[in-house]
């Protein structure tokens, strides 16, 4: 996952899933959200924002 951070926006430059995983990128006007999923339902989610500097959170389910 490659992300470009700027005070005005966060942008996904590339997202390459591992074998057996799919990827979806969402940017609903707020944080950049990238979901990596397996067919079995495992989730690895990246939420990237600019809030007084670059921030990122990874959620594993």
| pLDDT at residue 59, rounded to an integer | 97
| pLDDT at residue 6, rounded to an integer | 92
- pLDDT digit string, tens, across residues 4-34: 999 988 999 999 999 999 999 998 778 999 9
Q: Where are the domains of the chain?
A: 2-60
| pLDDT at residue 39, rounded to an integer | 95
* CB of 50 closer than 8 Å to CB of 30: no
| pLDDT at residue 19, rounded to an integer | 95
| pLDDT at residue 27, rounded to an integer | 85
| pLDDT at residue 30, rounded to an integer | 80
Rounded to whole angstroms, how far apart are CA atoms 50 and 10?
A: 7
């Amino acid at each position: 996952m490659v992300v470009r951070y700027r005070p005005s926006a966060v942008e996904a430059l590339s997202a390459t899933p591992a074998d057996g995983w799919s990827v979806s990128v969402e940017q609903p006007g707020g944080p950049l959200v990238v979901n990596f999923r397996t067919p079995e339902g495992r989730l690895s989610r990246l939420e990237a924002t600019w809030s007084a500097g670059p921030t990122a959170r990874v959620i594993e389910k």
